[in-house]
Amino acid sequence: VRGTSKNIYVSNPAHGGGLHNYGLAVDVSILDEWGNPLPMGTEVDYLGQEAHITHEAKLVEQGKIMPEEWKNRLLLRRVMREGGFHTLSSEWWHFNLCSRETARLKYVLIE
């Protein structure tokens, strides 16, 4: 993705990579009681505006995600925030436990 518009979605390993490399980030979704993923508007790892959480109301207005999908995203964020995780604006599925700065100061990079 280097040199493309998708570059913003990938952490640069030369800069220590992302918080996944410290074991301090997770990519998650929600499953129903039968093990089926709830609809979220995109697949996990979708590289595009529809995955962003910053303008979801507009995405619903434009028909790019459905109201139920937005509701499911809000539920996921609420549960993860209650667990102490923080969001990443460009990926509805990505949650960090701390900042990159805190990770570098307190934890060891997993290689």
Q: What is the pLDDT of residues 25-63, one digit of tens each?
A: 999 999 999 999 999 999 999 999 999 999 999 999 999
Residue tagged active-site, from 56, 69, 82, 91 = 91
Residue 1 pLDDT more than 70?
A: no
Number of structural domains the chain divides into: 1
91 catalytic? Reply is yes
Q: Report how far residue 80's alpha carbon sits from residue 43's, in angstroms, rounded to the nearest whole number.
A: 18
State the residue range of the domain holding 87: 5-106
111 located within any domain? no
What's the pTM? 0.87
CATH number for 73? 3.30.1380.10
Q: Report how far residue 93's alpha carbon sits from residue 50's, in angstroms, rounded to the nearest whole number.
A: 12
| Residue 25 DSSP SS3 | strand
Contact 103, 14 (CB under 8 A): no
Q: 86: part of which helix (H) or strand (E)? A: strand 86-88
> Which amino acid is it at 18?
G
